[in-house]
Amino acid sequence: MAQFQVVLREGIVGGFAGPTVNMSKRQVVDIQGDNSGATVMHATLKPESKNDYHTQSGGASIEELSNLLDTLKQQLQDLPTEQPVGSQDIYGQDISLSFFSDDFQWSNGGPEGCSQGESQVQATPEQKEKFKELVNLVKGLGQQYAVTAA
């Protein structure tokens, strides 16, 4: 796999005043890399804060990530995304997961601002469960490899 990026964002469903979520659980995991390795950033919103994050970073070799990235890519290929883009959080988890590489792109989202609607595509209960497993996989990578305070 040449260049790749995996991004997980918790807290994607917003209204007119922006996302309304349990802010203490809001987090971002960003994994970027290429054949030589990857950088991993994991940020969690500090309790009682709306924009102050506790951020950690680290690195991983491509050997450490290769199987997990292949699994993630393979399983995302079988999952739907909302149509039109940004219309609805079809997985109901208030989480966006994106995977970008030279030969594959997949990203789900949710409504932002006032542009809420209903997706023409809906996830089945089985697909929602698979998405939840992949979210936990990416969160685990963030916790495992992002170990140094940034």
* pLDDT tens column, 50-95: 788 899 999 999 999 999 999 999 999 999 999 998 889 999 999 9
Beta bridge partners of 106: 99
Look up residue 33 and give its two tokens: 């890399």
Report the amino acid identity of residue 118. Answer: E
CB-side neighbour CA atoms (13 Å) of 91: 27
Domain residues for the domain of 60 are 4-149
pLDDT tens digits, one per residue of 2-41: 899 999 999 887 654 444 444 445 899 999 999 999 999 9
Specify the pTM: 0.88
How far, CA to CA in Å, does 86 sit from each of 1, 16, 28? Answer: 28, 15, 18
Q: How many domains does the chain have?
A: 1
CB-CB neighbours of 101 under 10 Å? 17
User: The domain that contains 95 carries what CATH number?
Assistant: 3.30.1560
- Closest to 109 measured CA to CA, from 133, 135, 78, 82: 82
